[in-house]
A and B are shown apart, each in its own frame.
Chain A
Amino acid sequence: MTAWFGAAEPAEDAGVPADVPAYEDAAELPPVPILRLRDVRKTYISGQLEVEALRGVSLAVGAGEYAAIMGPSGSGKSTLMHILGCLDVVTSGTYELAGTDVSGMTETDLAQVRNRQIGFVFQQFNLLPSLPAWRNVELPLAYAGVSPAERRDRAMSSLERVGLADRVEHRPGELSGGQQQRVAVARALVTDPSLILADEPTGNLDSRSSEDVLGLFEELHAAGRTIVLITHEAEVAARARRTLHIRDGQLDLALSGAGAW
C-alpha cells in the first residue's frame, strides 16, 4: 500500500520498511541535495520603496529530508518558498533544483518543473471551489497530459491515501478546513513529485486537523519524499527532522546548525 508513495526513491525503499521512520538510516548517508540555494537575494520594488526580503540565503536540502523553515512574520519565509517552488525568481544568486539551475528557464519550462517535480500545500488550501474533490486532485495530472481514466484512478487512490475515499464527490465548500487541506495534500501527491513544499499548512487548522495533516507528512517522509515545511509554530517545526531558522531575510546559522550549507 505504501509502496505507491515510495516510487520516487527506490534506493530507500529497498532496505527500509515503509512504516519505520527512515531518517536514522538516511542521516548516515551523505544527503544528495535536491535543493541548493547559493547567496540568494530577493528584492521587491514597490514604488520608491525597495524591500530586501531575502538577503543572501545559502542552503541545501537533501533528497528524502524533512526540513522545517521557521521564523517570525515578515522574515521572508513565504518569499523563500515561492523561490523554492519556482513560482518566483531570484534577484541574485543561484537556485538549483535536482541539479539544474532554474534561473535560465522559460515560463513554460518552469510550469513543467512545477508540474512534475513539486507538490504544493498552501495555508489557504487553494482548491477550486466549483470542482469536486477528485477533480481538484486530478488537475496537475491533466496538465501533465495523463489520460482521463488514469487521472481518475490516481486521484481516487491519492484521496484514499489521505483518508477521504468517502468524500471524493464533495466540493470544497462541503468539506471542513482539515478535510480541505487533506484534499490539497492529495493533490500535491498525485503527480508523485520528489519535493513537497508546504507554506503554513496548519495555519488555518485546529489542533486535531493539524495533527491529521502533520501525520500525513510524516508518512510521506517515511516513504522517502522530500518535504520542506514553513511554519512559525515551534511544535509544528519540531515534527521535522531538521529546522532552519530565518530572520530578516537571512538564515540564523546559530539556531539552524550545521544543516545550512
Chain B
Amino acid sequence: MSWKDTLRTALAAIGSHRLRSILTMLGILIGIAAVILTVGLGQGAQAQVRDQISKLGSNLLIVSPGSATSSTGIRGGRGSASTLTARDASALATHSVAPDVAKVAPVASSSQSLTAGTTNWTTTIAGTTPDWLSVRARTVSEGRFFTAPELTNAAQVTVLGPDTAAELFGGRSPIGQTVTAGNATLTVIGVLTSAGSSTATNDDDQAIVPMTTAATRIGSGTTRAAISTIYLEATTQDTLTAAYQEANAALLSLHGVTAATADFTIASQQSLLDTATSTDRTLTILLGGVAALSLLVGGIGVMNIMLVSVTERIREIGLRKALGATPAVIRHQFLTEAGLLGFTGGLLGLGLGLAGAATLPGVLNQPVTVSPLAAAAAVTVALAIGIGAGVYPASRAARLAPIDALRSE
C-alpha cells in the first residue's frame, strides 16, 4: 500500500469523525499555541533587555554601592547604602590610579519638582560629569552639554531629556530658558536626543546637571543626592578587564575593605547581559514547561481517541487483514492517522500562536518573538507527539488476530 493510499485512508477516517477529530486536535492546538506564546514572550523580553544593555556601550563598567558577595547570595544592601563618594569618582578619574579607565561619570540622582513659568514637572535630577554624555552613549539634539569649567564652578545649568523639555516648554525651544529646582534657578543649555523606546526606565525624562551643582545648590541636608552609580569607560574594549581590576583595587583600598567585605559591585555590560539572560531563560523554561505539560495532556488525548478508534474499527481491521493487509500496513495506517491529528493540531496551534503573537504585544505591552525555527520545531513536536501517542494503539491494531477482529460484533 503506497503512502498516498495510507494518507487518503487516514484522512477519510479522520473526516468520518469530524467533531471528535477536532476536539482531539484541540488539545494539541492549545498546547502548541501556549508553547509558542510563552517561548515567544520569553524571547521577546530577552531581546528587549539585551537591546537595552547593549545600548550601554561595550567598554562600560558600572560601579554600584553594596556587595554582591554575601554568603547567602543576596546582594547585601546593594543600592540602599550610599557607600560611593565623589572622592571615589575623582580617584578613578586619576590616570595614575586607573590608567585604563578613560572616562568617569558618577551619577547622583534625586527626584525633584522642576518649574518653568507656571508649569510644574517632577522628574529625576542627575548630577554628573561632562563624561556622562559619551559614557552613556547619548547625544544632544539642541544646544550643548555642560563643560568641565561649568562642573568646577557649579554652574547653574541643566540639559533636559526630550520628554522633560516637552513637558515643561511644550513646543517652544527651551534653550536659554530657566527652570527652578528647589532653591536653584537653572538655565537650560541643551536637550538630549531621545534614547529610543524603553519602557523600564525613562532615559528621556530627566534633567542632567553638573554634579557640583546638584551637591551644593539643589536640595539640602538629607535630600542632598548620594552617588548611586559610577559609570566608567575603559580606554578600549581590550582593556576592559584591566580597567575592572584597577578600579576594583582602587576602591578596595579607598574604602579600606577586602574583596570579602567589599561594599561595592562592579558590573560590565557582559555580566549584566548574562544575569538578565539567565533570569529570563529560567522564566522561559518554567513557563515553557507548563505549556509542554498541556502538550502532554494533548498527546494523551490523541492516544485515548486512537484506542477508542481501534476498538470501534475492530471489524474493519479484521476485514482489511482478511483482504491482505499485513500487520505493518495496519500499524502504518493508525500511526499515520495519529500523526495527522498531531500535525494538523500543531499547524492550527501555530496559527493561533502567531495570531496571539501579533495581538499580545498591543495588550501586554510586551514584545513576542516567534522565530521560524521555533515555529518549525513546534509543528515537528506536534507531529512527533501524535505519532508517539499512536504507537501503542497502532501496535494493538496490528496485533489483532484477523479472525477475532472479523468475528466481533
Q: A111-154: which residues lie under 8 A (CB-CB) from chain B? A: 111-112, 114-116, 120, 122, 126, 128, 130-131, 139-140, 142-145, 148
Establish whether residues A139 and B323, one from each chain, have CB atoms under 8 Å apart when the complex forms: yes
State in angstroms the CA–CA spacing of A85 and B403 once bound together. 10
Chain A nearest Cβ from B230, distance in angstroms: 77
Chain B residues in 8 Å Cβ range of A139: 320, 323
Establish whether residues B316 and A111, one from each chain, have CB atoms under 8 Å apart when the complex forms: no
Chain B nearest Cβ from A191, distance in angstroms: 8
Determine if A247 is an interface residue (Cβ-Cβ < 8 Å). Answer: no
In the complex, which residue of chain A has the Cβ closest to the Cβ of B406? A87
Chain B nearest Cβ from A97, distance in angstroms: 14
Determine if B329 is an interface residue (Cβ-Cβ < 8 Å). Answer: yes
Establish whether residues A114 and B328, one from each chain, have CB atoms under 8 Å apart when the complex forms: no
- Which of A88, A116, A122, A130 is close to B324, meaning CB atoms less than 8 Å apart? A116
In the complex, which residue of chain B has the Cβ closest to the Cβ of A88? B403
Chain B residues in 8 Å Cβ range of A120: 322-323
Interface range on chain B (Cβ under 8 Å from partner): 20 to 34
Chain A nearest Cβ from B379, distance in angstroms: 28
Q: B3-21: which residues lie under 8 A (CB-CB) from chain A? A: 4-5, 12, 16
In the complex, which residue of chain A has the Cβ closest to the Cβ of B401? A88
- Which of A114, A130, A140 is close to B16, meaning CB atoms less than 8 Å apart? A130
> A87-B402, A128-B316, A130-B12 are contacts. A144–B326 as well, Cβ < 8 Å?
no
> A126-B319, A128-B316, A139-B320 are contacts. A107–B1 as well, Cβ < 8 Å?
no
> A126-B319, A143-B329 are contacts. A111–B324 as well, Cβ < 8 Å?
yes
> A87-B406, A128-B319, A130-B16 are contacts. A145–B1 as well, Cβ < 8 Å?
yes
Interface range on chain A (Cβ under 8 Å from partner): 20 to 34
Q: B301-338: which residues lie under 8 A (CB-CB) from chain A? A: 315-316, 319-329
Contact mask for chain A residues 137-181; partner B; CB cutoff 8 A; 1 contact, 0 none = 001101111001000000000000000000000000000000000
Establish whether residues B1 and A111, one from each chain, have CB atoms under 8 Å apart when the complex forms: no
Q: A60-115: which residues lie under 8 A (CB-CB) from chain B? A: 82, 85, 87-88, 107-108, 111-112, 114-115
Identify the A interface with B (CB < 8 A): 82, 85, 87-88, 107-108, 111-112, 114-116, 120, 122, 126, 128, 130-131, 139-140, 142-145, 148, 187, 191
User: Which 10 A-B residue pairs are closest in the complex by CB-CB distance?
Assistant: A115-B324, A143-B324, A111-B326, A88-B403, A140-B323, A87-B403, A108-B326, A87-B402, A126-B319, A142-B5
Identify the B interface with A (CB < 8 A): 1-2, 4-5, 12, 16, 315-316, 319-329, 401-403, 406
| Sample of 24 A–B contacts (CB below 8 Å) | A87-B322, A87-B402, A88-B403, A108-B327, A111-B321, A111-B324, A111-B326, A111-B327, A111-B329, A112-B326, A120-B322, A122-B406, A126-B315, A126-B322, A128-B316, A128-B319, A139-B320, A142-B2, A142-B5, A143-B320, A143-B323, A143-B325, A145-B1, A191-B324
